[in-house]
Amino acid sequence: MATIGTDISQAKQILENGQLVAIPTETVYGLAANAFDITAVARIFEAKNRPTFDPLIVHTHSLEKVNEFVEEIHPNLLKLAQTFWPGPLTLLLPKKNNIPDLVTSGLDRVGVRIPKHSLTLELLKQLSFPLAAPSANPFGYISPTNAKHVNDQLGSKIDYILDGGSCQVGLESTIVGEEQGEIIIYRLGGLAIEAIEKIVGTVSVQLNQSSNPKAPGQLKSHYAPKKPIFIGNINELQYQYADKKLGIITFGDGHISKSNMIIKNLSPSKNYQEAAINLFSFLRELDASSVDIILCELLPEESLGLAINDRLRRAAS
């Protein structure tokens, strides 16, 4: 298994040697490598068993550093960066040639963000290169929100896990780009649409669910537990699957527990941030439990509820 610790110097040395380090962010833990080193980037795909048509996000610590590997930043995207970085926002920007095509799956734009985590920001400041870092989990499985999640699944494939505690957002970043002057959201995430529209006005949402994504996290089946997951009215679904041991993911007013159920309430008080923080952990706990199937209900389609519902739909696909 991997070594877990808080030694930035050790993480820096491993990354400079072209190897992999798991890093904490406010969203989820990432599996990081030197974004300029195509061999190191290839190790990410190999460790995750990730298809090379699914692009990676590049992490750095300042807008000045971003300009070293992107051609330009559209004025409205710059406004978003200045407002929300560091934070759970990824911008799709035209890349320079120093970003290998493997990072972007051959696309001419690269996803870039500045993570809001003091340990990882300090690491990034000490490196001479940005980090390519998708979520630190086997491809398609539930994203990790603490160091133990990473070690349980990828510990044998990486050298070091930088332990920054539990993630404070719990959902991947929102991915935003620009096409012909229009601001477009390609992936719903930890930054709500309403917050983005306060800065740049009305945006378009394009949640591609094909095997040819424009941005990371757009594949139809993603973030999925190994156990079957079904979405709908839980009161109706539990009778349909009355012969099964049920894992229940709910939100708000609690359901009455029965002997054949394990209930996980994302937020009894209907707090979207609490629900986002709990989502992936609860999916993991139920996947590791004795339940046969997982039943869940969608949240109201507002605020972070949109992103949570997106993850649930992809998990159930």
Per-residue pLDDT of the chain (317 residues; tens, 9 = 90+): 899 999 999 999 999 999 999 999 999 999 999 999 999 999 999 999 888 788 999 999 999 999 999 999 999 999 999 999 999 999 999 999 999 999 998 899 999 999 999 999 999 999 999 999 999 999 889 999 999 999 999 999 999 999 999 999 999 999 999 999 999 999 999 999 999 999 999 999 988 655 455 666 655 556 678 899 999 998 889 889 989 999 999 999 766 777 889 999 999 999 999 999 999 999 999 999 999 999 999 999 999 999 999 999 988 87
Domain boundary assignment for the chain: 3-72+88-170, 229-316
Sheet holding 174-179, edge to edge: 3-5, 160-162, 21-23, 30-34, 131-132, 57-59, 109-113, 89-94, 174-179, 182-187, 204-205
90-to-119, 129, 196 alpha-carbon distances in Å: 19, 18, 12
Q: Is the dihedral of CA 28, 31, 157, 164 positive or negative?
A: negative
Q: Give the H or E element holding residue 241.
A: none
Cα–Cα distance for residue pair 305/192, rounded to 1 Å: 9
Burial class (CB in 10 A: 0-12, 13-18, 19+), 163: buried
Contact criterion met (CB below 8 Å) for 285 and 265: no
User: Token digits for 281?
Assistant: 């952990």
Give the Å distances, CA to CA, from 58 to 130, 213, 256, 304. 6, 17, 44, 23
pLDDT for the residue 217 = 61
pLDDT for the residue numbered 213 = 56
Contact 32, 60 (CB under 8 A): no
SS (H, E, C) 38-51: HHHHHHHHHHHCCC
Neighbouring residues of 78: CB distance < 8 A, sequence distance ≥ 6: none
Query: How do residues 121-161 score in pLDDT, each as one tens digit?
Result: 999 999 999 999 999 999 889 999 999 999 999 999 999 99
Q: In this predicted structure, what is the pLDDT of residue 51?
A: 83
183 DSSP β-pair partners: 178
Write the single-letter amino acid at 185.
I
Q: Name the residue among 98, 96, 93 with its Cα closest to residue 80.
A: 93
b/e code 188-205 from CB counts within 10 Å (16+ = b):
bbbbbbeebeeebeebee
Contact (CB, 8 A) for 115 and 121:
yes
Q: What is the pLDDT of residues 190-238, one digit of tens each?
A: 999 999 999 999 999 988 655 455 666 655 556 678 899 999 998 889 8
Distance of CA 194 to the CA centre of its chain: 20
Return the CATH number of the domain spanning residue range 3-72+88-170: 3.90.870.10
How many beta carbons lie within 10 A of that of residue 39, not counting itself? 11
User: How far, in Å, CA of 31 to CA of 209, rounded?
Assistant: 23
Q: How would CATH label the architecture of 229-316?
A: 3-Layer(aba) Sandwich (3.40)
Beta bridge partners of 59: 113, 131
**Cβ atoms within 10 Å of 206's Cβ, excluding its own:** 15
pLDDT at residue 50, rounded to an integer:
85
